[in-house]
Amino acid sequence: MKPFFKNDFGTLYNADSISLLNEMESGVSQCCVTSPPSYGERDFGIDGCIGSEGSVDDYLEKVVSVFKGIKKLLCDDGTLWVAVKDTVADGFAQGIPWLLASRLRKDGWILVQDIVWNKRVLEKNSAVSRRFTDSHDTLFLFAKTGKYFFNMGAMRTAAGKNSVWAISNRQDHRIPVQTLPPRLVSTCILIGTSDYGVCSKCGTFATRGNKCKCKGREVVPCVVIDPFAGFGTTLDVAQRLGRKYIGVEINGSFCSMASKKLACFGKAL
């Protein structure tokens, strides 16, 4: 498929993730950092756009289908970081983050840990009478296998070694949907990938001064993927950290905004 945008760090596609991911080569990425569209919050009138399904079950089925494609693209020691926002209906939480986690586990993903993302900035609709004010989302760390890569040095520096991350979610008023803050994305990428890349021959994560056992001579940057690329935050953070990226976004207007952001750093091809 023809890319919507491409620079020397990666490629952004304007497409349906479920279809496109199935066409891609296996094992091309080391890390996925993403956040699926929230259920029932917005309908942009685009066929195949996730979030406008008629039921929670249909929504979960579609999201799981996307991550089935992500599992194919991830290397065996790769990780999936997914931030999931719950939806309130008739005053009650739907429990979507944990419903999704349960389905992903049934689909073969290993749930390593749940992380509480303390957003600090309260939701616009936070005034409630019989519920606590929403001030956090859930971030899940999944692995494809039990031998997943985890950068301990980056974890100590970026995350502070605990499972509650206090990261402001103050949003740009010009953007119509919630996006992940760059600091949260960079924390996931730094922990889930190596600054030194991977061996081009066998795909082993590289470390400083450590020669690959396969005696491969070339090291290439790690690849970060986002199947719900939105306005390109994950892709932009990845390139600024020296990683490559693959992004997929079904909304053409979002792709236009993302490409402008990506072009500010990488050289367009």
pLDDT tens sequence across 25-41: 999 999 999 999 999 87
Could you tell me if residue 269 is inside a domain? Answer: no
Is the separation of the CB atoms in 244 and 236 below 8 Å? Answer: no
pLDDT tens digits for range 52-62? 898 999 999 99
| Tokens of residue 260, six digits | 């402008």
Question: What pLDDT does 154 receive?
Answer: 87
Q: Are 142 and 80 in contact (CB under 8 A)?
A: yes
Total structural domains within the chain: 1
Strands (E) in 54-119, as ranges, are: 74-84, 88-89, 92-93, 110-118
Domain assignment present for 268? no
What CATH number does residue 143 fall under? 3.40.50.150
Question: Does the residue 190 lie in any domain?
Answer: yes
| Residue-wise burial string across 1-23, b where 16 or more C-beta atoms lie within 10 A, e elsewhere | eebbbbbebbbbbbbbbbebbee
- 42 belongs to a structural domain: yes
Q: Count CB atoms within 10 A of the CB of residue 176.
A: 11
Helix (H) or strand (E) holding 190: helix 182-192
Q: Which stretches of the chain drop beneath a pLDDT of 50?
A: none
- Interacting residues of 202 by C-beta distance below 8 A, sequence separation 6+: 212, 213, 214, 216
User: What residue has token string 């996006």?
Assistant: 179
Token pair listed for 180: 């992940």
Q: Which two tokens stand for residue 211?
A: 């020669």
**pLDDT at 268 (0 to 100):** 65
pTM over 0.75: yes
Distances from the Cα of 101 to the Cαs of 40, 74, 111, 148, in angstroms?
A: 19, 18, 7, 18
Give me the pLDDT at residue 206, please.
Answer: 84
Residue 10 lies in a domain: yes
In a domain, 231, yes or no: yes
Res 45: pLDDT = 72
In a domain, 169, yes or no: yes
Which domain range does residue 173 map to?
5-263
